[in-house]
Structure 1
Amino acid sequence: MPRRTVLAAVAAAAVGGSASLAVDSAAARQGPRGRRGGRPGAANASGIEYRGWVCAADWRQGSASGVSVVGGSRPGVAFAAAQGTVDYADPHTGSTRAWEYATWLSPVHRPATPATELIASWNADTPAGSFLRVEVLGTYADGTDTPWYTLGVWAAGDQDIRRTSVDGQQDGKSSVWTDTLAVDDPAAGPLLTAYRLRLTLYRAPGSAAVPTVWRLGAMTSAVPDRFEVPATEPGPAAGVELTVPAYSQDVHDGQYPEYDGGGEAWCSPTSSQMIIESWGRRPSPEQLSWVDPDFADPQVCHAARFTFDYQYEGCGNWPFNAAYAATYPGLQGVVTRLASLSEAETLIAAGIPLITSQSFVESELDGAGYGTSGHLMTVIGFTAEGDVIANDPASPDNAAVRHVYPRRSFENIWLRTKRYDAAGNVKSGTGGVCYLYFPVSLTAAQRRALAAVGVR
C-alpha cells in the first residue's frame, strides 16, 4: 500500500556540523520498505523503552546554548540568543541561506535494554523564518560512538526549507533508514547502550521568530526476531469503540503528485488526520484555502502536504506525522512501539486511539481485501469478542473505512518482526510501531494508560 521505502546507505555522511548544514542527498533508493526505565513493574522484557524530555525539570537537565526553558502548561525550550550563524544548503530547493542557531543537548540516557533500533520524535512550533534539526549520538556496547546522525530537518511549514530526512548515514555498525537508526547486524552487535539527542533551532538572522520545542524523545527497542507473536486474550477494552472520523485515502488517488499523488501513498496522513480530528482539532478554512475546492476532505490533502518528506518523497515519515499532529493546539504526538495488543487495549479503554503500522499478504488479514508491504491504519476499538475495530483508510470511500479484523491475525501482522511476502521471500515487519496522539490536558485514567505503555 503506502510507500515506506528503504534507502540505500551508499556513503558515510557527516552532517549537522557547526560549519555547515548541507544535506547529503546522493543516496539511492532500493524500493519499498516497509519512559524512562521501560514498562513499570517489569524487567523491560519487551526491550521497548520511550524516553521523553517534556517537563521543565527535564529540559533543565540538558545543556543549553542559546535556548531558554519556558514554563506554563506546555514547558519546553525556546530560541533565546543566537550562538552564531551557519549556512544551510537545501538539497530540495537548490538554495543556500545563512541562519542563526541555538542548541539543546540532552543528558546521556542509558536504556534498560541494549537497543537494535532508535526512533526519535518531537513536538514543536516553528514560525515562519525558522526550522529545527534533531540528531542522535549513540554509544555502542564496545564503548565506541556513532557519528552524530541527523534524524530529521523539520519545519511545520514549507515556505522556508523543505522538511527532509537524510540518506547515506552509516558507520559500518549502524545506518539511518529515513527515520530509524538501526544496528546493521543485531546478532553480531555491538548494540546501542546509550544515546544523547541534540536539538538545534534555526531562525533567519535578525528575525524575531521564536522556534519552540515542547517534547523531544526517542524510542529504543530490541524486539526479538519472530514470525509469530504470543496470542493475547480480550481485555479491558472489549466492547469499547471510540468516536473517530472515517476518511478514505483512495478518494484522493491522483491528487497532488508533488506530495506523492494520494491514494495508496497517503495512508499515514489520512490516519493522522482521523485521530487529530477525534481530539477536536482540524485545519481552519484559511489553512485549507490552497486545496482545490473540488476535492473531498481537503484536510487530508493538507495533512499530506505538511507531513511530506522531500528526501523520502512520501508522507510516511513516522516522526514527521507525529510532529504534524502536535502543530494543533494542545495536542502531542509520539512514535513508539507497543509490546502487545493488550497494551493497545489499555489505551483504547482510556479513550486514546492509536495508529498502527503493519505489512501482510492478502490471505493474512481476513476482510482487508489487499496485501501491503507497509500500511498505516487507526485502531479505534474492540468488539465484545476482542476483535479489532479499525478505521482503515485503504477503503473505496469514507463509508467503507470502518473494519473489524480478527484479533489473532491483526496482532500478529502488527507485532511480528519477520514475515513472508507473496513470493515466499523473508521480509521485515514493524514490530509494533505506532503513533500516539493525545492532548496536553489528560484525565487521570489517560495518564495511567500512557504510563503503562511507557509514555508520560
Structure 2
Amino acid sequence: MAATAVAAGSSLSFAAPSGTSPGAGAASSGPEATVDHRAWTTADDWLRGTAHGTAPRSRGRTGLVIDHTVGTLDHTDPHTGTKATWEYATWTAPLHTPSAPASEIIASWNARTPAGTWIQAEVRATYTDRRSTPWYVLGHWTSGDAAGDIRRTSVDGQGDGRSSVSTDTLAVDAPASGLRFASYELRLTLCRRPGTRLTPTVWRLGAMGSDIPDRFTVPASVPGEAAGRELKVPRYSQEIHKGQYPEYDNGGEAWCSPTSSQMVVEYWGRRPTAADLAWVNPAYADPQVCHAARHTFDYQYKGCGNWPFNAAYAATYPGMQGVVTRLRSLGDAEKLIRAGIPVITSQSFLASELDGAGYGTAGHLMCVVGFTRQGDVVANDPASASNAEVRRVYRRRQFENIWLRTKRYNAEGQVRGGSGGVCYLYFPVDLSPGQRLALASVGVR
C-alpha cells in the first residue's frame, strides 16, 4: 500500500493482498487479513469525544487532563487490599467503525500519572448483529508504583458469553461463527486523591481492531526496500537477569518484553536517570532492564508481557509514543526499518521452526532491527546468554511464518495460537516526513 498523508482525527487501515491464502482452518470471514488502527492524539481529537470533567491541555504537548472532578469512586486494590476513595473525571471516544468488522480489539494508551493518580481504560463494542458488549476494563494503570497508589493490573473474568478479555485483548469467543465487532467505543477514567489538584495526563489513546484468518502458514514476501539496512539498536540480554527480582517475575525468560522495550527506548535516545535506577541492586548489570520490568509488571497477569503496558511504559519517556498493532508481512516491517523505526515482534515456535534460535517458546518478544542483503531478518533477540550474543540473523521465510501465523502445533502436536503479526511500535513525537509516511503506510499516525 502506498504511503499517504493523514488528516488529524482520521483512522488508517489496510488489508492483505487479495491473493493471500487463508491456510488451514480459515475463518468464515475470508482470506484477507484486515487491520484498522484508530488513535486520538490532538486537541481536536479530545474535543470530539464526550468529556465529563476532562479537557485537553497544551504544555508543549497536548494531553487530556482532569479539569474538574465529577464524583468519587471507592476502589479496593485486589493486590494490596488497600481501600480508598478517589475523585474522577471521564472521557469517551466517539463511536468508531473499523474499515471491516473485527474479531479482536487491542487498545493502547500513552500517559503519565503522578503519584496519587491513575487511569482506567475500557472498551465497549457493538457486534455485527447489533447487540453490544458490556464495558470491559482493559487496565488499571499507573506509570509508577508509589506507596499508597494502586497496582498496575489487568482484570480477569470478563465476558458476556460471546466475547471475553484475555489480559490485554478483547476477542470474539467463536470467530468461526462469523460474529464480529462492527464498532467500538473507548472510555478513560482519570482518578486522583480527593482534595488535590493532581491529574494524570493522557497524550494518546487508540485501539487496533483486526480480523486475521486462521492460518498455519502465510504467504512468503519478497525481500525489498530495506535489504542491507541495519539500525543501531542497543543489545540487552534478558537471560543475564535470571533470578533477579522475583516480585517482578524473576528475570530471565520472563523479561523478553521489557528488555525489548528498553532496547528501543534507548535507540531513540531516552533512558532512566540515575535517580530512577537508585533502587536497583548495584551488582546487577543493565539496571535499566530491571527498571523496565518493574514498570511494565501486571500484578494480575503476574508478568511483564502485557502488550499495552509495555507501549505505555515506552511513552513515559519525554516525547515518546507507543502503540500496539499488527503488520501484514515483513515487507511492512521493511518500510519501517528503512525509515529508521525498529519493530518489536511477538511470536511462538518450536526450536526446529527457527534455525539459530536454539530454543522453542509459547510466546516471545524480540526486536527486528534490520535485514541482510539477501532479505533475512536481523533481530536483537533478548533470549541470549549475553549482550554480545543478542544480535541474530534469522531466515526470512521462517521468521515471517512464526510471527504472522495464527495457528501452530506445539511439541505434543496440539493446536495452539500465534500472534498474527502483533508488534509494538515506539517512536518520538518529532518525526521526519519519511518516518511519518512509513508509519502511515502500516496504518499508524
* TM band (smaller chain): over 0.9
2:85 is aligned with 1:98? yes
Q: Determine which of 114, 120, 134 is the counterpart of 2:101.
A: 114
Look up the match of 1:87: 74
1:227 match: secondary structure: coil
For 1:72 and 1:45, how far apart are their aligned partners in 2? 43
For 1:176 and 1:41, how far apart are their aligned partners in 2? 26
Q: Determine which of 321, 324, 330 is the counterpart of 2:313.
A: 324
Look up the match of 1:36: 11
Q: Determine which of 282, 296, 315 is the counterpart of 2:304.
A: 315
Look up the match of 1:193: 182
- Post-superposition shift, 1:58? 1.1
For 1:403 and 1:420, how far apart are their aligned partners in 2? 24
2:133 match: secondary structure: strand
For 1:263 and 1:351, how far apart are their aligned partners in 2? 29
2:410 is aligned with 1:421? yes
- Post-superposition shift, 1:189? 3.6
Which amino acid counterpart does residue 231 of structure 1 have in structure 2? A
Q: How does 1:27-426 map to 2 (within 5 A)?
A: 36-39=11-14, 45-71=32-58, 73-159=60-146, 160-426=149-415
For 1:252 and 1:71, how far apart are their aligned partners in 2? 40
Residues 215-266 of structure 1 deviation map (CA, whole Å, 9 limit, x = unaligned) = 0000000011100000011111100000000000000000000000000000
Look up the match of 1:25: none
Q: Is the 8 A contact 1:322 1:435 kept in 2?
A: yes
Q: How does 1:434-449 map to 2 (within 5 A)?
A: 434-449=423-438
Change (3 A) 1:278 1:37: closer
- Post-superposition shift, 1:326? 0.2
- Post-superposition shift, 1:69? 1.1
For 1:397 and 1:234, how far apart are their aligned partners in 2? 30
Q: Is the 8 A contact 2:226 2:335 kept in 1?
A: yes
2:379 match: secondary structure: strand
For 1:199 and 1:309, how far apart are their aligned partners in 2? 19
Which amino acid counterpart does residue 133 of structure 1 have in structure 2? Q
For 2:151 and 2:178, how far apart are their aligned partners in 1? 35
Name segments (4+ residues, structure 1) moved above 6 Å: 40-44
Identity of matched residues, %: 65
For 1:164 and 1:372, how far apart are their aligned partners in 2? 24
2:11 match: secondary structure: coil
Q: Between Structure 1 and Structure 2, how many residues are aligned?
A: 422
Change (3 A) 1:440 1:246: same
Which amino acid counterpart does residue 401 of structure 1 have in structure 2? V
For 1:45 and 1:183, how far apart are their aligned partners in 2? 18
2:334 match: secondary structure: helix
Gaps of 5+ in 1: 1-34
For 1:137 and 1:149, how far apart are their aligned partners in 2? 6
- Post-superposition shift, 1:74? 2.4
1:146 match: secondary structure: coil
Change (3 A) 1:66 1:310: same
Q: Is the 8 A contact 1:380 1:391 kept in 2?
A: yes
1:419 match: secondary structure: strand
Q: Is the 8 A contact 2:16 2:33 kept in 1?
A: no
For 2:142 and 2:301, how far apart are their aligned partners in 1? 16
- Post-superposition shift, 1:39? 2.8
Which amino acid counterpart does residue 125 of structure 1 have in structure 2? R
Change (3 A) 1:277 1:289: same
For 1:258 and 1:71, how far apart are their aligned partners in 2? 37
Q: Is the 8 A contact 1:40 1:452 kept in 2?
A: no
Gaps of 5+ in 2: 1-9, 19-30
- Post-superposition shift, 1:41? 12
Q: With structure 1 as the length reference, what TM-score do the two structures score?
A: 0.91
Q: Is the 8 A contact 1:183 1:189 kept in 2?
A: no
- Post-superposition shift, 1:60? 1.1
Residues 106-158 of structure 1 deviation map (CA, whole Å, 9 limit, x = unaligned) = 00000011110000000001011100000001000111100100001000011
For 2:153 and 2:328, how far apart are their aligned partners in 1? 29
Residues 411-449 of structure 1 deviation map (CA, whole Å, 9 limit, x = unaligned) = 000000000111111100000000000000000000000
